């Protein structure tokens, strides 16, 4: 069904291009050739609908119907990702990672649930670290 509709759509596209190119413009009458203002009205001279204009209307309607049908058929059978973000993130398709082992020592809990080790500045040997409590006296 999809292939048949695609073939009909391509044929309608080619026919629509040909019919539009075969039509003459609104200023193609004799007065327009000599600069007459008869064809320069708001919407141009309104004549009866020709065979080409009727064919253009019919093929344009058929083009819209086949385009809509092809888009519906193309999305109906798809079972893939629904958004661009789903296709770009590889993490959603893999198994969830194990939680890392808690770090030794004090940690800070982040809003997303991870624990980050707290890094305490240390002083070189023989010096007291800034802000460190004084050693207890015995």
Q: What tens digit of pLDDT does each residue of 36-86 get?
A: 555 555 555 566 678 888 999 999 999 999 999 999 988 886 666 667 776
Give the pLDDT band of residue 116 (cuts 50, 70, 90): confident
Between the two ends of the chain, the Cα-to-Cα distance in Å is 93
Kindly state whether residue 89 falls inside one of the protein's structural domains: no
Looking at the 3D structure of the chain, how many domains does it have? Answer: 1
Kindly state whether residue 3 falls inside one of the protein's structural domains: yes
Are 26 and 44 in contact by the 8 Å Cβ rule? The answer is yes
Rg (CA), the chain: 37
Kindly state whether residue 131 falls inside one of the protein's structural domains: no
Domain span including residue 17: 1-23+50-75
Kindly state whether residue 130 falls inside one of the protein's structural domains: no
Kindly state whether residue 128 falls inside one of the protein's structural domains: no
Give the pLDDT band of residue 113 (cuts 50, 70, 90): confident
Report the distance separating Cα 54 and Cα 125, nearest Å: 95
Kindly state whether residue 94 falls inside one of the protein's structural domains: no
Give the pLDDT band of residue 24 (cuts 50, 70, 90): confident
Report the distance separating Cα 115 and Cα 104, nearest Å: 11
pLDDT at 102: 58
Kindly state whether residue 60 falls inside one of the protein's structural domains: yes
The answer on pLDDT for 12 being more than 90 is yes
**Mean local confidence (pLDDT), 25-42:** 57
Q: Per mean pLDDT, which range of 44-58, 80-94, 119-133 is the poorest? A: 80-94
Report the distance separating Cα 61 and Cα 50, nearest Å: 17
The answer on pLDDT for 5 being more than 90 is yes
Kindly state whether residue 110 falls inside one of the protein's structural domains: no
Report the distance separating Cα 128 and Cα 121, nearest Å: 11
């Amino acid at each position: 069904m999809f292939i048949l509709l695609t073939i009909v759509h391509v044929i309608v596209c080619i026919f629509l291009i040909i019919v539009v190119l075969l039509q003459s413009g609104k200023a193609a009458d004799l007065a327009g050739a000599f600069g007459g203002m008869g064809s320069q009205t708001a919407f141009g001279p309104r004549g009866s609908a020709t065979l080409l204009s009727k064919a253009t209307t019919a093929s344009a309607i058929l083009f819209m119907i086949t385009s809509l049908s092809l888009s519906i058929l193309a999305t109906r059978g798809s079972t893939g990702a629904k958004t661009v973000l789903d296709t770009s993130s590889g993490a959603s398709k893999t198994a969830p990672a194990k939680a890392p082992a808690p770090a030794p020592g004090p940690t800070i809990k982040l809003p997303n649930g991870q624990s980050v080790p707290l890094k305490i500045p240390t002083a070189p040997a023989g010096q007291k670290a800034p802000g460190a409590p004084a050693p207890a006296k015995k």
